[in-house]
Amino acid sequence: MKASAFFLSALTLLSAGALRAQPSFAGPVPSTAVVQSADQRRTEYLARVDEVQAWSAARVTPPGELITDMGLIASKLARHEDAELCSRSVIELMKEPGSGPFWMFPVVNIAFLGRDHLSLAAQKSIRDAWRTGMQIRGDTENHWAMYYTSLYLMAELYPNEPADSWYTGKSSSQNLAEARDYLVHWMDLATTVGQGEFNPTHYIGEYAIPMLFLSTWAKDDAMRARGHLKLDWLFADLAENTLNGVLHGANARTDDTSVIERWNALASFFSWICFGNTPPPANYGGWGIYFATVAKSYTVPEVIYRIATDRDGDFLQRDLKRTRRRWRNSDVLMAPIYKTSYTRRDYAVGSYQGGMADPIQTHVWDVTWAVADPRGVHNTMFSLHPMSSGYDMQTYFTELPDQMIKGVTKEGKASYDSPDKFLGGSRFEQVFQDLDTIIALYDIPPGTRFPHINGFLSKDLVNLTVDPSGWIFAQGGRAYLAYRPLAGFELQSSARIKSSWTGERADTGDKRLYSPHLKNGTIVQAASASEFKDFAAFQAAIRALPLEYALEPVPTVKFTTLRGKAVVCTYGAAPIVDSQVLDYTKWKLFEGPYLNAEKGSRKLTITHGRLERVLDFNTLTITDRVKPE
Amino acid sequence: MTKLKALFALLALLAGHACAAPAPKHNLFVVATINNNFVVGSKMVTLSGLFQRGPGDTYGHFGLNFPYIVSLAVDPREASVLYAASINGVLCSTDGGKTWRIGTSWDMTEPKDVFVDPHAPDHIYLALPDGIAVSRDRGATWPRREKGLPERGRYTQTIKVDRTRTGRVLAGCESGIYLTEDGAESWRRVFPTKTTVTDVRQSPHDAQLWLATTQNNGALVSRDGGLTWKKFDGVPSAEALYNVAFDTTNALRYAIGSWTYGVLTTEDGGRTWIDRNLGLPEEHCIFRVGIDPDTGRIYAAVYRDAVFTSDDFGRTWRKAGLEGSLVYNFIFVPQAAQ
């Protein structure tokens, strides 16, 4: 290369670097103003997609070295850049095929984006890797969604090929049929009795990305439609459960970070890219890069966008979900989960009842308050029994009883066997929610590992006061919060798990309410600051609420909520509200102002104002209409 | 190809070794994972799956590098026909592990055990977390055979065919020990349990004698072919027992492996038991025991530590390879089948 050419190239690179926009995860908080124009919404959406693609594609590879990051290759292919380097890199990467769905879907991404750009040799290397590398199917719902979507698309991409050309030992048509059967089965379950891994803070990507791939690349019209419907379904469920873009309330699965810093989750990437109302997590959450490479083929429906961004009042949503498969220790394979979400401008309260959705990473209830910039803020309050139990692991995993506790702490779930953890649920916890009141009761048998309750009291609470009445008062953002422990406790400093892999801890300034009593309970009542003259008035109102409770023989609470509901909750019995026994069996798949579906229906009606979209898996159709005034 | 060459080299070495010592009548296959905390999606930096015992304390890996294989069965007519219970379902190979086909579909996952009927080797029994499947066509198809199993409580950890009678099979499930005498056309419970039966084994000396281990019901013995069962008094039952092994060289010797209790042995047919953990690591969480049918040597797999062996039935131990491993199974295959 001549010196002048080198200089020009260097200058170009420098200029590109200088001109490169600040990524949104490091930029200011996006506006939460509703974008009214469809064209503008689309333009802004595409700009966000371009931002991710450009940021990802611009990540520097040392000169002369091949790319080892499949997200970078996918981004370059999406932008039609460096096809030759990508091809050589793919060939090298495919020499050692990965080991399961987390390898499969990035490769599918590259295979499809590279159809017209990668060299024939690179494409052949991908094809060969799907012959030689036995892929691990995994054991979770998200594993299988990725695995079978990937297998489906590759079998379509390479049809009519014999069994010995696939790692499965099955022909293209056999692979396609198996993958189709599973995907249809899974969608049937999710659209009749609910998703198992519902509202996951991170695993949403493991569903949204495969569904985007299906909706974009499946040749089969029906499967392409299924992908589109399920993607809309996922984003509608996300929109319903966000507060200014932050996923709040119960999660089938989350992690040590997201459970207290509620924004810091891949779900926030999807809120950002679809709704533009919260910053994305650092590096777009990693997996967001793959979504962005194909995201231009998707249009966020206006009705879903508005559910996330354009709310005109408080709303209560009740949904039906299901637990992970219970192999043992249960009368049912999948127990129903009854999920409640009450969302207001200043805060949201969410919970689920029905038993543990997942043995390790579930999050059963919380109050999450709105903040101007959620980054770094621990804007949540909740309590839990920190269960660590081989019995419970065996319920959900096909393993021998003893090694799981030891093993799982080394497999990305470092906090599982920690007594001070804030992640997880317990079969000794029963939760009731009415609007912005939570009553969580605990009846922990003697001898249980970790026989205590952990309450999470955030560093971001202000005016935290332990009141002589027994209530703990605090303010989070514009929300007033009252927390009532039903047994003795002490407040301890909290060092949260910083790394789920190494178990490294960091002092956060949060407090742990430690209550070492087997029969126990927590009542939380939230309210908007605007409802009261001042904080003292809120406290006075709470103190005045009728409350009786007993812990023996089992915890029981009689409480009149701030909203005037007379509630009786007894551990082991159905809650009673205003003298009516709550009957969870009547719950619908979705019921609320925005999302509605009958149990077993395979049909979701999404509504916002006069806008309506019906996702019908029976007919594989999407029907939009503007309802008459 | 490289792995196959290594396997052949290993077999050649074994053959050479055989010239210097009494020829072993069995090959030992070990199903193990050495995974450095592998999780689905991680890069595999170590070898896992199937190993074959070599000279000394060496083990040669063959077949897939796959961390979630838990059991292996070999067709007694043809040693190159293998069935492996894995997280993906049952894996079938007809070329000694060179290539594999996933025999089952999406509706069967994570089988825990696989066993070939020795008198009808086309019939293969599969223990599933949600029941039992049986192939009667050398693994081509795997219909469920669950009549008589309860709707819940059918989690099946172990399945073994009576060597004296085709189609007579015992299965260890969550809710007890189940027996079929018609090739799994129907099952009946012969012993109830509240937690999972972890192993059932038939004595190589007396076909009527069967042993079983359980999670919370202790160790069980049947002297009538599995029809009735009685608990061994000398074996603790509060914590789980993982498996049991017979000593082919001595009809009175059995060994039990347990995470909590380590290695338990009897040398008087189960009347008395003793823990044989002296010489094992202090944290002797035993995941599996096996007994070499040729020599009576005990193999004890200490969780993610190593395999330990004892030539004096547990009185002394030495570390004997597969360091860092989690051993799911020791499988001794008669060399006649090789």
| Residue that has been written with the tokens 């039609």 in this structure | A80
Q: Is the pLDDT of residue A282 over 60?
A: yes
Contact by Cβ (8 Å): A312, A331 = no
Q: Identify which of A99, A182, A394 has the shortest CB distance to residue B40.
A: A99
Predicted ipTM? 0.92
Average pLDDT rounded to a whole number, residues B215-242: 97
Mean pLDDT over each residue of chain A, to the nearest integer = 94
Beta-carbon contacts of residue A580 (< 8 Å; ≥ 6 apart): none
**Partner residue opposite B66 with nearest CB, options A134, A164, A412:** A134
Contact between B88 and A401 using a beta-carbon 8 Å cutoff: no
- H-assigned helices in A295-370: 302-309
Instruction: Judge: A103–B41 Cβ closer than 8 Å, yes or no.
Output: yes
Tens digit of each residue's pLDDT (9 = 90 or more) over A95-143: 999 989 999 999 999 999 999 999 999 999 999 999 999 999 999 999 9
pLDDT class of A17 with cuts at 50, 70, 90: very low
| pLDDT recorded at residue A552 | 97
B124-183 residues touching A, CB cutoff 8 A: 129-130, 152-153, 155, 174
Average pLDDT, integer, range A433-454: 97
Structure tokens at B178: 């189940």
Is 70 exceeded by the pLDDT of residue A233? yes
Q: Is residue B317 within 8 Å of B308, Cβ to Cβ?
A: yes
| Token pair 């533009």 in the structure block, residue | A276
Contact state of B152 with A102 under an 8 Å Cβ cutoff? no
Which pLDDT value is given to residue A382?
98
Residues of chain A with Cβ-Cβ distance to B287 below 8 Å are 400, 403
Considering only CB atoms, B40 lies closest to which of A143, A182, A328, namely A143
Sign of CA dihedral A568, A483, A413, A268: positive
For residue A326 the two structure tokens come to 């219970």
A136–chain B Cβ distance below 8 A for any pair:
yes
pLDDT value of residue A409? 74
Q: Cis peptide leading into A28, omega within 30 of 0?
A: no
* Contact yes or no for B240 and A400 at CB 8 A: yes
Which residues, 6+ apart, have CB-to-CB distance to A612 below 8 Å? Answer: A303, A605, A606, A624, A625, A626, A627
Q: Looking at the predicted structure, is the pLDDT value of residue A625 above 80?
A: yes
pTM of the predicted model as reported, rounded to 2 decimal places: 0.94
The secondary element (H helix, E strand) that includes residue A125 is helix A120-132
> Cβ B101–A400 below 8 Å, yes or no?
no
Considering only alpha carbons, which residue of chain B is nearest residue A96?
B43
pLDDT band at A14 (very low <50, low <70, confident <90, very high): very low
| pLDDT value at residue A269 | 98
- Using alpha carbons, select from A410, A251, A292, A369 the residue that is nearest to residue A54: A292
Instruction: Nearest chain B residue to A398 by CA: give it.
Output: B129
pLDDT band, residue B38 (cuts 50/70/90): low
What's the N-to-C CA distance of chain A in angstroms?
A: 69
| pLDDT at position B37 | 61
> Residue A233 belongs to what H/E stretch?
helix A221-240
Q: Are A304 and A274 in contact (CB under 8 A)?
A: yes
Q: Do A136 and B101 touch (CB under 8 A)?
A: no
Q: Strand, coil or helix: what is A305? A: helix
Q: Which residues pair with A526 in a beta bridge?
A: A481
CB A352 within 8 A of CB A587: no
Q: What's the mean pLDDT in A27-42?
A: 96
Would you identify the CATH topology of the domain B68-192?
A: Methylamine Dehydrogenase; Chain H (2.130.10)
How far, in Å, CA of A321 to CA of A597, rounded?
12
Say which DSSP state B79 is in: T
User: Quick one: closest CA in B to A184, which residue?
Assistant: B106
A403 touches chain B (CB under 8 A): yes
pLDDT confidence of residue B21: 56
Residue bearing tokens 């595409």:
A46
- DSSP state letter for B164: T
Query: A103 and B106 in contact by Cβ < 8 A?
Result: no
The pLDDT-based confidence of B36 (bands split at 50, 70, 90) is low
> What is the model's pLDDT at position A315?
97
Span A43-72, mean pLDDT?
95
Chain A nearest-CA distance from B312, in A, is: 28
Closest A-chain CA to B100: A169
Alpha carbon B266 to chain centroid distance?
Answer: 20
Are B100 and A332 in contact (CB < 8 Å)? no
Backbone angles phi, psi at A558, to 5 degrees: -115, 120
CB-count exposure of residue A591 (10 Å: 0-12, 13-18, 19+): middle
Residue A457: in which H helix or E strand, if any? Answer: strand A453-457
Phi and psi at residue A321, in whole multiples of 5°?
-130, -165
Please choose, from the candidates A78, A61, A80, the residue with its C-alpha nearest in 3D space to the C-alpha of residue A69: A61
Question: How do residues B81-90 score in pLDDT, each as one tens digit?
Answer: 999 999 999 9
Q: From CA B38, how far away is CA B48, in angstroms rounded?
A: 10
What are the beta bridge partners of residue B222?
B210
Using the beta-carbon criterion (under 8 Å), do A136 and B68 form an inter-chain contact? yes
Question: How far A224 CA lies from chain B's nearest CA (Å)?
Answer: 21
Give the separation between CA B69 and CA B88, rounded to whole angstroms.
9
Q: Summarize the confidence of residues A552-573 as an average pLDDT.
A: 98
pLDDT, residue B43, reads 66
Average pLDDT, chain B: 91
Name the token pair of B321.
Answer: 């390879």
Distance from CA of B89 to the nearest CA of A (A): 9
Specify the DSSP element, H or E, that contains A543: helix A535-543
Is B260 within 8 Å of A136 when comparing Cβ atoms? no
**Dihedral angle, C-alpha B313, B314, B318, B323, nearest 10 °:** 100
- Separation in Å, CA B173 to CA A161, A351, B191, B215: 40, 35, 10, 11
Amino acid making up residue A135: Q
The answer to whether residues B222 and B201 touch, using CB atoms and an 8 Å cutoff, is no
pLDDT tops 50 at residue A1: no
CA distance A453 to A433: 19
B116 — contact with chain A (CB < 8 Å)? no
A159 touches A195 (CB < 8 A): no
- The whole-number pLDDT of residue B295 equals 96
Cβ neighbour number for residue B181 with a 10 Å cutoff: 16
Measured CA distances, B23 to A542, B8, B27, B294, B295 (Å) = 83, 18, 10, 9, 11
Residue A554 in tokens: 């089992």
% of chain A surpassing 70 pLDDT: 96
Using CA atoms, how far apart are residues A250 and B89, in angstroms rounded to an integer? 33
The distance of A164 to chain B (nearest Cα, Å) reads 9
Report the distance separating Cα B322 and Cα B304, nearest Å.
9
Chains A and B form CB pairs within 8 A to the count of 100
